[in-house]
Chains A and B, each alone.
Chain A
């Protein structure tokens, strides 16, 4: 069950982009609190600012104004190595286009965050095997991404996101490149992980029915603003 303790506090955050002479405000004075153990779905149409907000919370981008506190650390105040450390130790990421490195086997892809975190080799192989077993890909560890189906690739990306045992998992349209059945399998897996590991999951999607089936809470964005957010009744979840 989600705890009431806020894990992430987005405080009046704005993010501007400059396109030539024009300034585009992707996120506009947005505030939001996310509790530990929540499965939050960020819903909105294209250009609503949901992916920008996700990138800001994941430490991939910096806000133009405002503050984002994660585990009481202000991400806006962290320097570049500090932000890299946050991404390495606190965050796991899953992308729409999987982003597995095509030159590496699945096993090596999953091992990559552990290399960056300078974990010992013996510990690495144990953790990689564990992560691949969790996503039921233990038998495909020596395959390259091109030899895997879309669903397997996304499960591989999920294993890579979990291998460092992060506190928060960010998923940017994880089902966007998958058929509905495979997409559903991925979301089932996400919820299984949330239930077993008590991990906080923040997912960007534009498929409201899926969000309502799998998330605890939905936040709706439009033109960079949070227009609504509400909890999903326990009975409504699949």
Chain B
């Protein structure tokens, strides 16, 4: 029998016993709804956690340091060289290395940690503090979400964002600082060229310049406009911006050439080749799943690399187990619903025994009869699945709505705890159809095997 005819006959049969078939379909819908509601809760909570963690900027970042540095996270320790072989020279984490990292696939941004001490002058007072350069990619980080004012207007804007505690030192009303100007007084590191050395007026100064390895420290001032105040540190931890009181765009911070701790280290180690190095670089990748690949590539280039992906992985494991647990609870209801389908179809076979006999007498094959019952089971699964997904989504919305009311009463921002992605909806409908077809297998096979003579004799 053609599919269209089969569908028409199945639909007609379902319509004829509308009440019983509707109740069976409702059973499937409730089963699917419980499954969807449970899993949407799991997916929603996972999305919420992932979103928060991603915005923390810790899980899509690789932190790189030179193997010259002291042993830190990701450090492979002292390089052991086999006897007789020359000792491996650690590579400097300089501008060339930074360019190499930026050229790696899936790398979005490579930026140094620029952190320096400064005096902030405001309203004729001086406040010692430390400054951090923050990359443009930190705009979406959770630390900046509750900002008073706004984020930097451009990556090169000469603007500053203050941490609230520091802002309170400047003014009892931090919000009033937005739009005002501060002056940074800081130490600039200057690399001297041979021409500059030659221009020194006396021979002693030239000798000093040469002896110092070609660098000098100069006191500078920079005026910045305050554009925002943030409540807390945007991110504490390794490679983050922990400890910052004044934040400025990293490109502006780089242009200031502030003297940092590793300048002295370079001077002592390099004897002064004049090329600046970075204490550490942070590499931001497109997606946390790219972290391992980038981390490996960097290690192969001879640097220490470290990421927090392991922690993220354990988190994913926790959520997978959580989803599995919720899914099993949801599946229980669907199992009960599948028993309803079996019951309905078995009853239908008993009632329609004579009809099956007539169909066979008219030339229906066993497959035709089986397919007819399968189509009826599948249709109940499809309709039940569609209703179930809608019902499950509504349950999820109700849960989110209830949670939002509760969180608002606690003065907390609302969150979306339930989320039905398209794949969950599609899988739930498919699952409902499969479960219905499996449930229909026994009755459909029974119907197909009926002896037509016996079926026609049935009253």
Hey, which bits of chain A sit against chain B, CB under 8 A?
55, 58, 60-61, 80-81, 84-85, 87-89, 91, 93, 95, 99, 101, 103-104, 112-113, 115-118, 160, 164
Contacts and interface: CB of A to CB of B under 8 A. Distances in A.
Contact of A81 (B1, B16, B365): B365
A40 B13 CA distance: 38
A87 B363 contact: yes
B109 interface: no
Interface stretch (B97-105, B354-362, B425-433): B354-362
A101 B358 contact: yes
B354 to A, nearest CB: 7
Contacts of A95: 361, 456
Q: How large is the interface on B (under 10, 10 to 19, 20 to 34, 35 or more residues)?
A: 20 to 34
B231 interface: no
A60 B360 contact: yes
A117 B12 CA distance: 19
Contact of A87 (B1, B9, B362, B367): B362
Contact of B362 (A61, A116, A118): A116
Contacts of B362: 87-88, 93, 112-113, 116, 160
A116 B363 contact: yes
Contacts, number: 67
Interface in B428-459: 451-453, 456
Chain B at the A interface: SS class: helix
B456 A84 contact: no
A87 B366 CA distance: 13
A117 B364 CA distance: 8
A99 B456 contact: yes
Contact of A61 (B5, B358, B359, B453): B453
B368 interface: yes
A117 B366 CA distance: 14
B365 A80 contact: yes
A84 B360 CA distance: 7
B269 interface: no
A80 B366 contact: yes
Contacts of B409: none
B201 interface: no
Nearest to B355: A101
B2 interface: yes
B450 to A, nearest CB: 12
A101 B9 CA distance: 12
A89 B363 contact: yes
Contact of A84 (B12, B355, B363): B363
Given A99-B354, A115-B1, A87 B368 contact: no
A118 B452 CA distance: 21
B361 A60 contact: yes
B363 A113 contact: yes
Contacts of A117: 363
Contacts of A104: 12
A95 B354 CA distance: 12
17 contacts: A60-B361, A80-B365, A80-B366, A81-B365, A81-B366, A84-B363, A87-B361, A87-B362, A93-B361, A95-B361, A99-B354, A112-B359, A113-B363, A115-B9, A116-B368, A118-B5, A164-B363
A84 B364 contact: yes
Contacts of B354: 99
Contacts of A60: 360-361, 452-453, 456
Contact of A103 (B5, B13, B451, B456): B13
**Closest CB pairs A-B (n = 10):** A88-B363, A84-B365, A87-B363, A115-B5, A113-B362, A99-B358, A103-B16, A60-B452, A116-B363, A81-B365
A84 B370 CA distance: 14
A82 to B, nearest CB: 10
Interface in B362-388: 362-368
A11 to B, nearest CB: 21
Interface in B1-57: 1-2, 5, 9, 12-13, 16
Nearest to A124: B5
Contacts of B366: 80-81, 84
B1 A103 contact: no
B456 A116 contact: no
Contacts of B368: 84, 116
A157 to B, nearest CB: 10
A60 B363 CA distance: 10
Nearest to B451: A61
A85 B13 CA distance: 24
B439 to A, nearest CB: 23
Contacts of B452: 60-61
A84 B9 CA distance: 19
A118 B367 CA distance: 14
A154 to B, nearest CB: 14
Nearest to A161: B362
Contacts of A91: 363
A111 B365 CA distance: 17
Interface string B331-368: 00000000000000000000000110111111111111
Contacts of B367: 81
Nearest to A61: B453
Contacts of A58: 361
Nearest to A84: B365
Contacts of B359: 112, 116
A223 B176 CA distance: 113
Contact of A118 (B1, B358, B361): B1
A168 to B, nearest CB: 13
Nearest to A164: B363
